[in-house]
Amino acid sequence: MRNPIRKRVLITGGAGFLGSHLCERLLADGHDVLCVDNFFTGTKDNIMQLMGNPHFEVLRHDVTFPLYVEVDEIYNLACPASPIHYQFDPVQTTKTSVHGAINMLGLAKRIKARIFQASTSEVYGDPKVHPQREDYWGHVNPVGLRSCYDEGKRCAETLFFDYRRQHNLSIKVARIFNTYGPRMHPNDGRVVSNFIVQALKGEPITIYGDGKQTRSFCYVDDLIEGFVRLMATPDDFTGPVNMGNPGEFTILELAQKIVALTKSRSEIVFKPLPSDDPIQRCPDISLARQKLGWEPKVDLDAGLTRTIGYFSALIPS
């Protein structure tokens, strides 16, 4: 007989940055975790500390192919998340979002599992409305360099809602805004990891554009708490729900904070802005506050300090 409190949870993309933190959290909560990953951007190092746990399993598998397992809940996180990685093979990126969603939704339907989708603030594109609420439909370029990711994620949301309407699936869709923390990739071109690595190496810190574009930064532990709360909501709450930190900082402010916290002598240099880079991105998290009683708790300085600690151990000084 299975322990009814102990759920069997499948996490696709479980060896990635967010996925590995989610694996850890769900194991700590007493569940059985099946981590599925093709190790495109994820690594065994991210989950090494979990390998000896008898309630943890890893399966090397690509979600663009069907998967047959028995679980109670599915968190679908598999997808490269940074432009460098998702633009490496854009067709595969769209396939991962779209075929991956179809395969995981098909699995959820067959085994009657509840399913969570890691969607993204990129579904809002270069937004014309600030901050973005969930009822904003976005302003997305369908043919640009970021489209494989943005449109793939939009189509995945469509599939989730059609499976809900057509097959009455229990779905949970989170629109994740910029999140950072330990186990981010050191070389993925994301702003927080880029700046920290540059500062620790004493290299110039590169800002694209004039640095006045703003971003919001959510610490990973806060986000994972939001995932778990969303998964636990009643069936009639599907999302989409924004998850991120509404505190806005300019890219220049972020660079200056990182220089100060690392005590780096790096200088800040400016380069041209790539196409389709949004000038402002900030979540309206009223819905998450109201439905999940959730909001981020870790402030930027505290989160950056923990993240810098992780990168310091990776990068020899």
Task: Note the residues at the interface with ligand NAD (CB under 6 A).
Answer: 12-13, 15-19, 37-42, 62-64, 77-81, 96, 100, 118, 120, 176, 178-179
> Closest CB to ligand NAD among 32 and 150?
150
From CA 146, how far away is CA 121, in angstroms rounded?
A: 13
Cα gap 173→230, rounded to integer Å: 8
Residue 259: strand pairing partners: none
Question: Which residue, among 78, 72, 86, has the nearest Cα to 3 in the 3D structure?
Answer: 72
CB of 224 to ligand NAD, least distance (A): 11
Separation of alpha carbons 97 and 81, rounded Å = 11
Minimum Å gap between C-beta 93 and ligand NAD is: 8
Q: Cα 231 to the chain's mean position, in Å?
A: 15
Please say which residue, 79 or 252, places its beta carbon nearer to ligand NAD.
Answer: 79
- The least distance separating ligand NAD from the CB of residue 264, rounded to whole angstroms, comes to 23
Min separation Cβ 4 and ligand NAD, Å: 29
- Annotated active-site residue in 124, 149, 163, 180: 149
The 8-class DSSP code of residue 185 comes to -
Minimum CB distance to ligand NAD smaller for 137 or for 270: 137
* CA atoms of 24 and 17, how far apart (whole Å): 11
- Please spell the DSSP secondary structure of 263-301, one letter per residue: T--PPEEEEPPPTT--S---B--HHHHHHH-----S-HH
The minimum distance between CB 92 and ligand NAD, in angstroms, equals 7
Please identify, using beta-carbon distances, which residue of 163 and 180 lies nearer to ligand NAD.
180
| List of residues 6+ apart from 98 with CB closer than 8 A | 152, 155, 156, 159
Interatomic CA distance for residues 89 and 152, integer angstroms = 13
* Closest to 115 (Cα-Cα) out of 292, 238, 244, 27: 238
Distance between CA 317 and CA 240 in Å, rounded? 43
Task: Identify which of residues 38 and 307 has a Cβ nearer to ligand NAD in the complex.
Answer: 38
Choose between 149 and 264: whose C-beta lies nearer to ligand NAD: 149
Per the annotation, the verdict on 149 as an active-site residue is: yes
CB of 265 to ligand NAD, least distance (A): 29
Neighbours of 160 (CB within 10 A): 26
- For 106, phi then psi, to 5°, come to -60, -40
Tell me how far apart the alpha carbons of residues 280 and 53 are, in angstroms, rounded to a whole number: 42
Active site residues: 149
